[in-house]
Structure 1
Amino acid sequence: MPDRDTTVVVVARLTPVPERRDELVAAIAEAIPGVHEESGCLRYALHAEPETGLLMMVESWADRAALDAHLAGAPFKAVGERLAPLCAAPAELHILEPLPAGDPAKGVV
């Protein structure tokens, strides 16, 4: 089990071109199994904001080195190129460090 003090959480916000949203979702879904196989990937899950159409990728990595390897890897760069024309704006990437509070099982992602 990873050390929760070193775990890195990422939230990426993707704004689809409205008429290409389904294509964007399909492209991300196709890439997810490969990311799940990457060393240090604890969670890589796509979520949708139904009222706005925005997509959010919620990720958890064992440590910053695992995230850096993911971001520098060829699969990430290839999917980024594939997703770019399907997005109305560049992805917003938020790299977060946990601030645990309350129940240790519920206070971190």
Structure 2
Amino acid sequence: MNQTDAVVVIATMEAAEGKETQVEEALRTAVRAVHAEPGCERYALHRDAKSPTTFVMVEKWASGPALGAHGKGAALAELGEALDGLLAKPMDVQLLTPLPDGDGHLGAL
């Protein structure tokens, strides 16, 4: 795989008031399932340090096709069902093209 083939995704979700625990549980379940998907190089859950209702998933996929397969996979479908009614607003998803520079380990996800 060429580093330039990789796709980085930042997905931000805001839990509805009082639904933080359920959102976190659904996301943790998805993490374990997605780690087994072909082309998954990173799928890491975070919580915003200043906003406990905001969760951020940092993802790295080996290629666009790997991300496409993830988008059609069972884990993401199950996550969508689990999050139904638990989010304050629609998920915000950013697709990023890595621009590695400097130290190969430090300059890219």
Normalized against structure 1, the TM-score is what?
Answer: 0.93
Structure 1 unmatched ranges of 5 or more: none
2:6 is aligned with what amino acid?
T
Q: Which residue of 2 aligns with 1:12?
A: 11
- Shift of residue 9 of structure 1? 0.4
The 5 A counterparts of 1:23-34 are 23-34=22-33
User: How far off its partner does 1:50 sit?
Assistant: 2.1
Where does residue 67 of structure 1 map in the other structure? 67
Give the aligned partner of residue 83 of structure 2. Answer: 83
* Off by >2 Å, runs of 4+ in structure 1: none
- Tell me the amino acid that sits aligned with residue 72 of structure 1: K
Higher fraction of helix? 1
Distance 1:26 1:74 in 2: 17
* Residues paired across the two proteins, number: 108
Show CA shifts across 1:61-87 (max 9, x none): 010000000001232122112113111
Distance 2:2 2:25 in 1: 33
Tell me the SS of whatever aligns to 2:19: helix
Match of 1:94 in 2: 94
SS in 2 for 1:42: strand
Q: Percent identity?
A: 37
